[in-house]
Structure 1
Amino acid sequence: MQFDVLVVGDANPDLVLRGDVRPRFGQEEQLLDGADLVLGGSAAITAAGCARLGLRTGLLAAVGADVFGAFVRERLAERGVELIVPAADDGSVPTGLSVILSAPGDRAILTLPGTIPALRPADVTDELLAAARHVHVASLFLQPGLQAGLAGVFARARRLGRGTSLDTNWDPTGRWELGEVLAGTDVFLPNAAELFAVTGTDPAAGVEAAAARLTAAGTTVVLKDGARGGRAWWPGGGSAAAPAVAVDVVDTTGAGDSFNAGFLAARLAGKELPEALAWAAVAGSLSARAAGGTAAQATIDEVIPSAR
């Protein structure tokens, strides 16, 4: 097989602004502490993290023929990720862009969709599925065309014996509708807010109750739990927790995507779920050491000692 993991989803630059980032209208000028143009998009950051951890990684994403598209291609090539652009993509749509307003403990994200919603289920061909051991989909709610047929994509992947995982990220519409997608998802990787929203669970019931709704149907839930690390529940009643690693936090943008990469790298290396969760927590923590999602992504030599 050509790839250990095929990541499907978004790829765009992130402009990360740090400091006094809460906008004040009325033409007030504010001074920032830092500004970095970095590779963004949940799928692209996850793919870069997977490659950093030694996986043969392909990324299926629509990218325009503009300066932002060139930036994305260069950053992916530097990391060793093979970018696969849909056959119907003629480059006429501008590449998406996100502006991250990063404040201590929180952030806001402004996104121009551009090419991000361009993927369609037919772009994930049987040939691509056959070329990978595992298929990971990211930022699904930003891609309504792909979302409408992802259940069928995952069904084809399963028929070919491929693993599947999903990180929806936030739903800007607030509908949180996945239909039959999770029924064909081996591993769901949300944060707590996303888990409650997708399952329709009252947060007062706790994450365990929300996760139980999915594990009962056969889906493993791997929760990104911020500074606390991660938690996981799987069918049959198993569960695990893993602590985060203490770092001097510069920016948490993309930390959840690096968490995904750590988990996928461990599982594809044959690690059991508790150890894979530990890898994920370490990879997510270490990525916060620099601005943007990829500058400080962990290497395998950093993850293994810290995950023990």
Structure 2
Amino acid sequence: MKTFDAVVIGDANIDLTVVGANEIPLPGQEVLVDHVMLHVGGGAAVFSLALAKLGLRVAFNGILGDDMYGQYVRAHFAKYGIDTRMIKTSRLHQTGISIAFNPDTDRSFITYAGTNMELRMDQLDLEQISEGRHVHVTGYKGRSNHEPYMAMAKALKAKGVTLSCDVGWDDSGEWYKGVFELMRYMDVFLMNETEALHYTGLDDIEDSMRYMAQYCSHVAVKLGPKGAAVMKDGILTRQGAYPAEAVDTTGAGDCFNAGYLFGFLTGQGVGDSLSYGNACGALSVGAYGGSTGSPDAEALRAFVAGHAQPLKKGVE
């Protein structure tokens, strides 16, 4: 019997959400805004909180600073039952901070990565991490950390855990093709439409998913307002997005991941998992903060039951 349903490896930081900033102040100026809010941010942290709200046993593995923001993140994790014993405390850097302007429109960010810069896959305690029956990893940076990710994935697979990965945006612009090697070790591989098109070099998302199916039998791609698509065992399934009034799109993709993997980890099929993912994404954007609007399991199932959204399936 595993201790955790999922161990999540990746980034955690503070998000400062600035609402009503119609302009960025010039030197010497001051701009008054409607509100500034404090939330837990970072893709891995938002995913962990959303998954824990759904009732799964979650542990977080990352690095926080020895500061008030690090304490805030730990306390927020504890509030939702997330185990924090795998989190390391650093005195080299402070906990990261990201400032988001106008989250309801075209967001702009100022980010200090902080302790997240210190996380290394080759320094993880894999024996401790394998206490989870599933491991979700983030922070893949292509060529710069490909080999440590490969070694980690191979070692964890050998320990009998299932794996998922959300690659995120490639800041280098290379879109390293080694990602397809990493896909071979993943039970579920997640990305958004833009990332999928960049990695495959193709112009059509369904063509991209057919291409990636050569390397991973289970790929989920987030399509923003168009919903999401999944290629599993040669079958392509698409579902449109649920209606939502967006006030803050921060963390919507991470909440989709949580809903989708909640379905996967509770033995649901692609259709139900896709509905859960899209529902979590829709509920997320209705509140400020990455995970604030994410539901518990009862609210999730009630939302899906009350909002019919057809699935489109086809054999590829």
TM-score (norm 1): 0.91
State the 1:45 CA deviation: 0.4
- The whole-number CA distance in structure 1 between the counterparts of 2:86 and 2:130 is 17
Aligned length: 302
- The whole-number CA distance in structure 1 between the counterparts of 2:44 and 2:144 is 15
Where structure 2 has 5 or more consecutive residues not aligned to the other structure, the ranges are: 306-316
SS class of match (1:82): coil
Which moves more between the two structures, 226-235 or 17-26? 17-26
Q: Which AA in structure 1 matches 2:98? A: S
Q: 2:261 aligns with which of 260, 264, 269?
A: 264
- The whole-number CA distance in structure 2 between the counterparts of 1:247 and 1:266 is 21
- The whole-number CA distance in structure 1 between the counterparts of 2:283 and 2:69 is 27
Q: Which AA in structure 2 matches 1:295? A: T
Q: 1:235 aligns with which of 215, 224, 233?
A: 233
Aligned equivalent of 1:244:
241
- The whole-number CA distance in structure 2 between the counterparts of 1:157 and 1:115 is 24
Q: Which AA in structure 2 matches 1:97? A: I
Are the equivalent residues in 1 in contact too, given 2:64–2:90 (CA < 8 A)?
Answer: no
Aligned equivalent of 1:215:
213
Give the 3 Å change call, closer, same or farther, for CA 91–144 of structure 1 in structure 2: farther
- The whole-number CA distance in structure 2 between the counterparts of 1:84 and 1:198 is 35
- The whole-number CA distance in structure 1 between the counterparts of 2:28 and 2:141 is 33
State the 1:29 CA deviation: 2.7
Residue pairs, 1:1-308, within 5 angstroms:
1-85=2-86, 89-141=89-141, 147-177=146-176, 179=178, 180-201=181-202, 205-236=203-234, 238-308=235-305
Give the 3 Å change call, closer, same or farther, for CA 91–51 of structure 1 in structure 2: same
Give the 3 Å change call, closer, same or farther, for CA 103–129 of structure 1 in structure 2: closer
State the 1:90 CA deviation: 4.0
State the 1:86 CA deviation: 5.5
SS class of match (2:184): helix
Give the 3 Å change call, closer, same or farther, for CA 110–175 of structure 1 in structure 2: farther
Are the equivalent residues in 2 in contact too, given 1:62–1:118 (CA < 8 A)?
Answer: yes
Which moves more between the two structures, 239-248 or 222-231? 239-248
Deviations 1:100-140 (A, max 9, x none): 12343431222211111212223433323421111111233
Identity %: 30
Q: Which AA in structure 2 matches 1:156? A: A
- The whole-number CA distance in structure 2 between the counterparts of 1:292 and 1:90 is 25
SS class of match (2:34): strand
SS class of match (1:106): coil
Give the 3 Å change call, closer, same or farther, for CA 224–74 of structure 1 in structure 2: same
Give the 3 Å change call, closer, same or farther, for CA 149–97 of structure 1 in structure 2: same
Which moves more between the two structures, 279-288 or 210-219? 210-219
- The whole-number CA distance in structure 2 between the counterparts of 1:275 and 1:214 is 22
State the 1:285 CA deviation: 0.7
Give the 3 Å change call, closer, same or farther, for CA 5–178 of structure 1 in structure 2: farther
Where structure 1 has 5 or more consecutive residues not aligned to the other structure, the ranges are: none
Give the 3 Å change call, closer, same or farther, for CA 83–216 of structure 1 in structure 2: same
Which moves more between the two structures, 205-214 or 52-61? 205-214
Give the 3 Å change call, closer, same or farther, for CA 86–142 of structure 1 in structure 2: farther
